[in-house]
Amino acid sequence: MFGQREAGRHNYSVRAVSYGYTAEGDFAFRAEATEALQLTTADSFTSTGTVQIFDADGNLIATICARSTATRFE
């Protein structure tokens, strides 16, 4: 996972790559997630992003849009 601060107040970007394998251990797919995140308070954020899924040959097979909110709790 890679994250960095972006221009503007409380703006960040995050990128993560994950890999999937079959039950036999063969490579099946790669998923790349990118997210734009904005801190809304010291204890919460909102974000939007996409996940692109590529098959074992590197072909894009799906793109998924995402939106999230989070609040810290104890």
DSSP 8-state secondary structure symbol assigned to residue 7: S
Q: How far apart are CA 7 and CA 63, in angstroms?
A: 26
Q: Tokens for 40?
A: 């809304």
List, for residues 32-74, the tens digit of each pLDDT value: 999 999 999 999 999 999 999 999 999 999 999 999 999 999 8
Whether 20 contacts 28, CB under 8 Å: yes
Q: How far apart are CA 51 and CA 48, in angstroms?
A: 11
* pLDDT number for residue 3: 85
Residue 58 contacts by C-beta under 8 Å, 6 or more apart in sequence? 30
pTM for this predicted structure:
0.77
Q: How far apart are CA 55 and CA 44, in angstroms?
A: 35
